[in-house]
Amino acid sequence: MEHFDVAIVGARCAGSPFAVLLARRGLRVCVLDKAHFPSDTPSTHVIQPCGVGILDRIGVLDTVLASGAPKIDRFTLVNDDVRIDGALDQAVFTQPGLCVRRGTLDSVLVEAAGTAGADVRTGTKMTGLLVEDGRVVGVDTEGGPIGARLVVGADGRHSSVAAAVGAAEYDVRPPGRMPAWAYFEGVGDREGRLRLGRRGALAFLASPTDSGLYMAGIAVDWAQRAEFHSNRNAAFRAGIAGWSELADLLGDARRVGPIRVMNDWHSYFRQSAGAGWALLGDAGHFKDFTPAQGIADALRQAERLAEDLPDDLADTAAVDAATQRWWRWRDKDAYPMYLFASDMGAPGTTTPLVNRILRDIATDPEATTRLLRLLNHELLPAQLLNPRRLVLAAWRALRDRPDLWRATGSEIASAVRDGAKRRPAPSLTASAETAVVRALDR
């Protein structure tokens, strides 16, 4: 049986960058993925500047840009009659954003992992974990067993590693919307602008992407997904037409490929570290897609875990202490945006209070920059939506729509209650710990 320092299950935007960083440290790394690349996966694939900075640090940014992905340096958010336009000022943001299809991005990352010295095995399916005395010591595959001092599951929302160890979910939240998106060729406007929109109960996401294509997407309320699927093409066309700015931008452009949807998801945290194993990226945590955080989160988590691991992976106590410490950091780092994303992706129409908050931000250039910094994981939501701003917005919302004073008052009271309660759930309950032990004993 071959032995490695680290075996990584999943070679996409969490696993391959992690492999690059470990291989550069001189560790022996094996990366497994059941897919052959290029390979698509459900993702609206916008990358925040903080994630682009990591692509630069691992040496793949130039290759990604060479694929034709424009630098995203402008931002538009439209919410009914409110419009916020902003720019990623180079004095504030050292990198632009990007929008790169996963078939393109993941292929670049897989190649980078191999170039860095990792043993990359695509088309290789994990069939189980190797366990000795309650500790994960490797991966079983269709091609035979692979020993490892640490096994990292970077295999997405339906993680086989998470299932094998019985990693419990906590602070689970139901989906608010179902995203549907497609690619178009022949869109003349290649301006590096990310567009987010909300018209009534329908949400929008649009951006130029690689290979000369343009991505346009809508998000329908979760309760309306069956109606959407009953005539997907017509529903998608009608949705795009609901935002005239986007419909005009697409014009006579031709759709390339099918309309893609993410029809099976929910938000969660999972236990993400245990004896000899850890979960990285979506395998350990998934949030609402609306603020486009997933890829940057995966890259940031990979970089942090690579930094936290000890030099001597034979010291199992030190390895486990490092992964537990990383897990605690992940939860603390992710939780504020988790809540913000859940609020952004809530179904239904925008409330008067939210509409008023956005209207106030639209008239304040400094607040607009702070919103962009929030999305780039530089500021906490509370640093933008501070008590003073919320109080003023509440007063103005009541002034603007006195006929909705009951609903607005209820929303304000709910916001105050939620603000007092919003702290991370415990990382692991006793029942979850018991479930993991039982899973490993099977």
Sign of CA dihedral 259, 218, 222, 265: positive
E strand or H helix at 331: helix 316-344
CA 300/CA 140 separation, integer angstroms = 28
Query: What pLDDT is recorded for position 180?
Result: 97
Q: What Cα–Cα distance (Å) separates residue 224 from each residue in 112, 209, 264, 268, 338?
A: 41, 28, 14, 22, 24
Please identify which residue in the block is written with the tokens 């509409």.
355
Of 245, 247, 250, which Cα lies nearest the Cα of 187?
250
E strand or H helix at 219: strand 214-221
Per-residue pLDDT of the chain (442 residues; tens, 9 = 90+): 899 999 999 999 999 999 999 999 999 999 999 999 999 888 878 999 999 999 999 999 999 999 999 999 999 999 999 999 999 988 889 999 999 999 999 999 999 999 999 999 999 999 999 999 999 999 999 999 999 999 999 999 999 999 999 999 999 999 999 999 999 999 988 899 999 999 999 999 999 999 999 999 999 999 999 999 999 999 999 999 999 999 999 999 999 999 999 999 999 999 999 999 999 999 999 999 999 999 999 999 999 999 999 999 999 999 999 999 999 999 999 999 999 999 999 999 988 888 889 999 999 999 999 999 999 999 999 899 888 888 888 878 778 777 766 666 666 666 555 554 445 544 544 344 444 444 445 5
CA atoms within 13 A on the CB side of 288: 25
Residues sharing a CB contact under 8 Å with residue 263, sequence separation 6 or more, in sequence order: 178, 225, 229
Of 26, 20, 23, 94, which Cα lies nearest the Cα of 63?
20
Beta bridge partners of 196: 77, 205
What are the structural domains, with CATH classification, of the chain? Answer: 2-45+101-174+266-340 (3.50.50.60), 177-261 (3.30.9.100), 351-421 (no CATH)
Amino acid at 2: E
Q: What Cα–Cα distance (Å) separates residue 335 from each residue in 18, 96, 341, 381?
A: 22, 24, 10, 11
Amino acid at 424: P
CA 330/CA 142 separation, integer angstroms = 32
CA 391/CA 23 separation, integer angstroms = 51
Query: What pLDDT is recorded for position 415?
Result: 58
Of 442, 431, 139, 134, which Cα lies nearest the Cα of 271?
431
Pairing of strands 119-122, 29-33: parallel
For residue 38, whether the previous peptide bond is cis, meaning omega lies within 30 degrees of 0, is yes
Query: What pLDDT is recorded for position 417?
Result: 55
Amino acid at 410: S
CA 225/CA 178 separation, integer angstroms = 7
